[in-house]
Amino acid sequence: MYFVLAYYHFNEIKDPHAFIKAHKEYLQGKDAKGRIYINEEGVNGQMSIHEDQAEDYIKWLNAFEPLKDMDVKVHLFESHAFAKLTIKYREQLAALDSSVDMAQTGEHVAPNAWKQMLEAKDENTILVDVRNQYEWEVGHFDGALLPKLKTFRDFKEYVDELKKTYDTKKTKVMMYCTGGIRCEMYSCLMKDKGFDSVFQLDGGVIKYGLEEGSKHWKGKLFVFDDRMAVPISEETTEVIAHCHDCGCPCEVYYNCANMDCNKLFISCEDCAKKLMGCCSAKCTHEPRVRTFTPSKHPKPFRKLPFEEKSELNSKGA
């Protein structure tokens, strides 16, 4: 078994490149894969590591002074959730493309208190899902505002639209994301745009599911790894997503087999077979279509290594 870890922490790292080197040296030879981004502001990691090595790794992380108070969220999975291990410097721990004052983040709300806030929510409170549309389609909190965003960066314009509808001084904003890191930045943005009362779910949906189960949650949770859509707890929830082609209830993601499209979409197995893994009939006739192999648990498409891509190009693929 593997521990799938999700963690982030905003705290100054004076020499991020030295920490990157130490991180690589610690994990060298260990059964670990994932994406770990580090800069002067902190760290953002999602990874899977063998259960025999996971607890020591978490202790190693917390022994690093800037990360001593960092919370690490854990799920169990039967195999690796990532294809490789990447540890590198990244200018932005979460892509917003604008600077924000991290000293004015929203008020962090623990999962239990968040559940109580959901149950006490009135007409002066809005619940905002700050994830992309392809994420919330498969699952979200009941009653949430679901912005049709394609990328994280689009949230700036969405806040401007909210200001046209809601009084920034009277409206209480509750916001949530997958693991919490986007809310750290987006809550600052909302306060900078004039919203005075901003609350964010501490630890995101992952922590809420681990501590409170699926109460007030519908569907599954989209995650950026090989699992793609997971239940947030052991409780059974209704399927709220639908096949993009036939409309039947479905919560399985595919990347379009047309390599020049690669769109992420939800499809039932029958429609995926009919369209050979493509998102549309048009894409099935494009020149660079991957061979489709039916699977009940398809994995996200990963870019080919340079050597394989060069070989395909030489064959006119």
Give catalytic residues, as residue numbers: 177
Who's near 147: CB < 8 A, 6+ residues apart?
A: 128, 129, 130, 133, 154, 155, 158
Who's near 104: CB < 8 A, 6+ residues apart?
A: 188, 191, 192
Who's near 247: CB < 8 A, 6+ residues apart?
A: none
Distance CA 279, CA 257 (A): 8
What amino acid occupies position 207? K
- Which residues does residue 39 pair with via DSSP β-bridges, in sequence order? 42
- Tell me the torsion sign for CA atoms 264, 222, 3, 5: positive
The answer to whether the CB of 90 falls within 8 A of the CB of 38 is: yes
- Which residues does residue 34 pair with via DSSP β-bridges, in sequence order? 47, 85
Who's near 28: CB < 8 A, 6+ residues apart?
A: none
**Coil, helix or strand at residue 221:** strand
What's the distance, CA 243 to chain centroid?
Answer: 21
